[in-house]
Structure 1
Amino acid sequence: MGTDLLVYLGGLALLDTLSPTIIGVTLFLILTDNKNLTSRLFSYLFTVVILYFSLGIVMMLGLNYIIETFSNIFQNKIFSWIIFIIGMFLFVASFFIPTNKKSNIPKPKTHSIFSIVFIGITTFLIEAGTALPYFAAIGLLTTNDIPFYQWLPIIAIYNIIMILPAILIFLGYKLFGKWINSTLVNLRNKISNSSNSALSWIMCIVGLILIFNTIDYL
């Protein structure tokens, strides 16, 4: 596995740290529930990571099976072209994302762990369909024929990186408490009002990464 591939995967993982839903739910929990914050937040993050990790495994096994089954018909060059075209589409489409001021960040109805787990599932359902960096990472791992013992820990580390901002925000709140409370409120409001803007940037960057990674294989 080349260094350039690791750089691309690291960049995609960092892009996924910009998830407005995960950060938004984290800020909501921090600002509304000090008493049970630790257990509720990590229940939420654990649920999200487990679901994303499971999705990654399913996708990797599925794509590898397709490539192995139809290797005589669909060579990796064709898959490289497919990834390249997807990259071009994402890059162009990123300039046409409309501005939307309506927040779609889910909020728990009660203070129970069950409610938090449900919000974790909801986050997965909301973002799984638009988890472009994650899908791009899976595509790159597949087209580069990365073996099982390498891609499995990569997916695990990728998902841990994805929730790092939430953990850092939590640690910052625990260390500095009310000193950063107003900053967190402003951050939550900004995230709620700019989710489409973040999606536009993510689509643009993911598109460029897919283009540059596959252009040598066309």
Structure 2
Amino acid sequence: MIAGLFGLALLDSLNPSALAVTVYLLLSTRPPGARVLVYVGAIYASYLALGVLLFLGADSFLDRAGGYLASDAGYVLQGVVGVALLLYSWLAGRRRGGERLTPRRPRSHSYAAIALLGVIVTVAEFGTALPYLGAIGILVGADTSIPQAIVLLAAYNAVMVLPPLLVLAAYQALGNRIRQRLESAGTWLMRQAAELWLSVLSAAGALLVLSCVHHFELWKKIG
């Protein structure tokens, strides 16, 4: 179980959005180290809190949600949400003549604004944090006690936020010697974050629509 959890944590750590904002803070704020720590700390605390809450309420939530989603109304809702996700991802990709989207950057560089950004990014991306949701499912399936689950989730999230901290450490050690590389990496990461986000939304939307179509056997009615 432990190996599976930390394998998922390593996969979850490959978050281009978090890395892009980290690079932006390093290159655009002073002092950058403290602001990166605030941003990463906000992500860590938010992910941990959401994970613990989901673990504590997993059994009752999954029972109720599973019963509703298995009904006709639930499948209709899945279809509507799926179509909405597909339309959004398509329109967002065409916005401004195909201009590439970038992750949200903080308009204010205050510590409060950066912490709020970390929380918002966490909540916005939580529904697509499939490795984390899988890790919580493993803990629930293994009948893990609450104290053990909290410790394991805390360790999971420590691994998950490790890449931004490593980038911060490299910048603190090397400074301007890696500034140009960080600028290039930041541009690439922002592009990947936008494309990855839209790809995830498209895939999720397609799966929901196919689930609805399969349940109601719409191809027979159309034919």
| TM-score in terms of structure 1 length | 0.70
Instruction: Determine the structure 2 residue equivalent to 1:31.
Output: 27
Shift of 1:61: 0.6
Aligned residue number for residue 81 of structure 2: none
Say whether the 8 Å CA contact 2:26–2:33 is kept in structure 1.
Answer: no
Render the CA deviation track for 1:4-63: whole Å, top value 9, x for unaligned. Answer: x21211111001111122111100000111x22122111111111111111011110111
Q: Secondary structure at the match of 2:103?
A: coil
Q: Which amino acid aligns with 1:163?
A: V
> 2: distance between equivalents of 1:46 and 1:197?
23
Q: Distance in 2 between matches of 1:14 and 1:103?
A: 26
User: Kindly tell me: are residues 200 and 6 of structure 1, through their superposed partners in 2, closer, same or farther at Cα, counting changes over 3 Å?
Assistant: farther
Give the number of the structure whose residues are more often helix, by fraction.
Answer: 2
Percent identical across equivalent pairs? 30
Query: What is the alpha-carbon distance in structure 2 between the residues aligned to residue 7 and residue 54 of structure 1?
Result: 22
| Structure with bigger gyration radius | 2
The 3 A distance-change label for structure 1 pair 40 and 180 is same
Instruction: Please name the residue that 1:78 is paired with.
Output: none
Would you identify which runs of 4 or more consecutive aligned residues in structure 1 move more than 2 Å?
Answer: 64-67, 100-104, 195-201
Gaps of 5+ in 2: 68-88, 94-98, 204-223
Q: What TM-score do you get using the length of structure 2 for normalisation? A: 0.68
Alignment correspondent of 1:114: 112
Structure-1 residue corresponding to 2:53: 58
Q: Who is 1:10 aligned against?
A: 6
Contact kept, 8 Å, 1:18 with 1:198, in 2: the verdict is no
Cα separation, partners in 2 of 1:105 and 1:154, compared to 1, 3 Å: same
CA shift in 2, pair 1:154/1:28, >3 Å: same
Distance across 1 between alignment mates of 2:11 and 2:129: 10
Q: Give 1:126 shift.
A: 2.3
Q: Contact 1:44/1:116 (CA < 8 Å) preserved in 2?
A: yes
Question: Partners of 2:145 and 2:172 in 1: how far apart?
Answer: 40
Q: Does 1:165 align with 2:163?
A: yes
Cα displacement (A) at 1:111:
2.1
User: How far, CA to CA, are the matches of 2:10 and 2:44 in structure 1?
Assistant: 15
3-state SS of paired residue (1:109)? coil
Count of aligned positions: 171
Stretch deviating more after TM superposition (190-199 or 172-181)? 190-199
Match of 2:36 in 1: 41
